[in-house]
A = this chain, B = another copy of it.
């Protein structure tokens, strides 16, 4: 694999000086075109130490318009980062649409070095590459252009290069004992690297192996690949936009009055199997409420000590009582320990990112409680029902969501997902009440009535959602919420149970 990158390729200073001005202009041109584009560019630099990863990123930074690029390099996780799932820091740094992000010591860094130092087996490295592949696939599916450069040096060239850096007082600081240690592990490094490249070179995220010995050659080839990749992707996205427009243009073949869908729509759903008569009243309610709140309060204190976070997701019909339930829960907590994140339409900044980005960013520090009032499930509920995203997009979201939640749970956090269910009759009663009580009128919008008309569509979507995303790792709790009191206690109890389980796992 690497023999093709040990050929001694060189570009002379004269040659480089001839091509540089034209290249710079072209790059700036492309950047201008990118700004209008609906995708970000993610560039990964990885490879042998001393093969010029940093210098190449520097050159790009120098040549391009800095307002439209970001460069990120990663060391040991900070406190902030260590509190969250490992990929949190990468999500946080993703470039928005129209921008170029350059990543050094990226998500490939740790799996590779852990393998080189034999801290993980080949199979374990493969497992970690699965997560990386999913991450990149999710970005690519969302339109991102991903370009990965593997900078290579032969062992001989590496030695020469490290020596040269060391000999120059201006660059000597760049060479650390770690670099020499890596040099000694060269064979292990390339063996692991080959496996890594094989497992993670995909059509949508190809590794380009670059001979790193000569800086001007390295620059030329990186710039050329980048130029071609961006140009091709701009064209591809244009073509895809046309496909989408084509599909939209076509008048939906007026659905024949079909009997089959009607027969299927009549079937019970996961919601219709709930016992909606369950209730909890008066003293018994108060007793249980106090009991569970006391329990939560205690458990949370322990969780805070141990750095176990809690992530709660609230979904449910309009007027199902999400707000009230959340308040009963937060009352048992210290205001500095929780955050309620109300999810409405995404902001401009959020729209410029993958739809999961805005949820990743809200994951809070260790020991805290993050409550999502509506959540990432909007993708497979409202966006599906209203046609705000393509069928492809919500269908692949199930897998993306499972992966996201798996990362939360693997990081040791407690995760609960609640669907607050009320019957259509109960909803009507509550809507009517709202419209009659002046200080509640603001809660009721036209939107609510429109959503109500789409009840069967939502029911289908909810059923698929539970089917595809209620897993042993991250189960859905369906809450019978015709009785608000019953619902509140059930939610509290479920949160306590989950927290207890997470604390046990942490021990």
Contact = CB atoms under 8 A, between A and B. Distances in A.
Contacts of A23: 260
Contacts of A464: 4
A1 B123 contact: no
Contact of A130 (B18, B126, B240, B244): B126
A467 B11 contact: no
Contact of A239 (B19, B124, B223, B243): B243
A109 interface: no
Given A247-B235, A247-B239, A258-B22, A467 B398 contact: no
B242 A466 contact: no
B263 A1 contact: no
Contact of A123 (B18, B123, B258, B396): B123
Contacts of A344: none
A267 B9 contact: yes
A60 to B, nearest CB: 15
A8 interface: yes
A190 B264 CA distance: 25
A202 B396 contact: yes
A5 interface: yes
Given A3-B270, A123-B123, A242-B243, A263 B206 contact: no
Interface residues of A, number: 76
A261 B9 CA distance: 14
Interface in A178-209: 191, 194, 198, 201-204, 206-207, 209
Interface of A: 1-5, 7-11, 15, 18-19, 22-23, 123-124, 126-127, 130, 141, 191, 194, 198, 201-204, 206-207, 209, 217, 220-221, 223-224, 232, 235-236, 239-240, 242-244, 246-247, 250, 258-261, 263-264, 267-270, 272-273, 391-393, 395-396, 398-399, 402, 463-464, 466-472
23 contacts: A1-B468, A1-B469, A4-B464, A4-B470, A7-B268, A7-B272, A9-B268, A18-B259, A123-B127, A141-B203, A194-B471, A194-B472, A202-B399, A203-B393, A203-B396, A204-B396, A206-B398, A207-B468, A217-B267, A223-B260, A235-B247, A236-B243, A243-B243
